[in-house]
C-alpha cells in the first residue's frame, strides 16, 4: 500500500482492493494461507487528510476555471460571428439605402404616428429635402 499516492488511497477503493489482492497473493507464496482480509477503516493523520482534501478542492477549482475559460472563449466566438453578420448586413443595407428610400420611410413613420390613438406629438416640416422634425406635445393633448 505504500506504493499508492495518498490521494489515491483516500479516494480510489478499486486501487486499494487490487493492491490488497496482490499483497495477499505474494504472502501466500510463502506457505501462509490468508482466507480473508477485511479493511474496515483507513485512518490518516488529520494533517494528511486536510492536505488531501485541499488538493482535491484545488483540482476541482482548476477544472471549474478551465470550464469558465472555455465557455468565455465560445461566447467570444459567438459574439464575433454575430458582429460579422451585423457588419455584413450593414454593408448590404448601406448599398440599398438611397435618399428617396429614407424619405419614403420617414413618410411611413409620420403616417403611422398620425394614425396612432396614443400619439401625443407634433410633427412639423423641416423644409427642403429633409425629414420632418417630431416634437413631444404637452401632456393630455
Residue pLDDT, tens place only, 35-46: 777 777 777 788
Same-domain status, 107 and 81: no
Higher pLDDT, 76 or 35: 76
Q: Dig out the grid coordinates for 18 from the structure.
A: 487490487
Same-domain status, 92 and 49: yes
Residue 63 has pLDDT above 90, yes or no: yes
Domain assignment present for residue 141? The answer is no
Whether pTM > 0.75 for this model: the answer is no
Do residues 118 and 107 lie in contact, with contact meaning Cβ atoms separated by under 8 Å?
Answer: no
Q: Dig out the grid coordinates for 90 from the structure.
A: 450593414
The tally of domains found in the chain comes to 3
Same-domain status, 54 and 39: no
Residue 86 has pLDDT above 90, yes or no: yes
Residue 33: which domain range?
1-43
Domain assignment present for residue 53? The answer is yes
Look at residue 66 in the predicted model and tell me its pLDDT.
98
Same-domain status, 91 and 50: yes
Same-domain status, 105 and 67: no
Domain assignment present for residue 128? The answer is yes
Look at residue 116 in the predicted model and tell me its pLDDT.
76
Domain assignment present for residue 19? The answer is yes
Domain assignment present for residue 62? The answer is yes
What is the number of other CB atoms lying within 10 angstroms of the CB of residue 9? Answer: 19
Write down the mean pLDDT value for the chain: 79
Ranked by mean pLDDT, the top range of 11-15, 26-30, 83-87, 118-122 is: 83-87
Same-domain status, 82 and 107: no
Same-domain status, 51 and 91: yes
Domain assignment present for residue 66? The answer is yes
Q: Dig out the grid coordinates for 73 from the structure.
A: 472563449
Point out which residues pair with 133 in neighbouring strands: 124
Could you tell me which of 83, 85, 72, 4 has the C-alpha nearest to residue 42? 4
Amino acid at each position: 500500500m505504500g506504493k499508492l499516492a495518498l490521494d489515491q488511497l483516500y479516494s480510489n477503493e478499486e486501487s486499494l482492493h487490487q493492491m490488497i489482492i496482490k499483497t495477499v497473493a505474494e504472502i501466500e507464496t510463502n506457505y501462509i494461507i490468508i482466507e480473508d482480509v477485511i479493511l474496515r477503516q483507513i485512518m490518516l493523520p488529520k494533517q494528511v487528510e486536510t492536505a488531501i482534501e485541499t488538493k482535491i478542492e484545488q483540482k476541482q477549482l482548476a477544472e471549474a476555471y478551465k470550464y469558465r475559460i472555455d465557455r468565455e472563449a465560445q461566447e467570444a466566438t459567438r459574439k464575433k460571428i454575430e458582429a460579422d453578420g451585423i457588419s455584413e448586413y450593414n454593408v448590404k443595407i448601406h448599398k440599398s439605402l438611397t435618399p428617396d428610400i429614407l424619405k419614403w420611410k420617414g413618410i411611413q413613420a409620420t403616417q403611422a404616428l398620425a394614425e396612432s390613438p396614443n400619439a401625443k406629438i407634433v410633427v412639423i416640416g423641416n423644409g427642403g429635402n429633409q425629414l420632418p422634425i417630431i416634437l413631444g406635445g404637452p401632456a393630455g393633448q
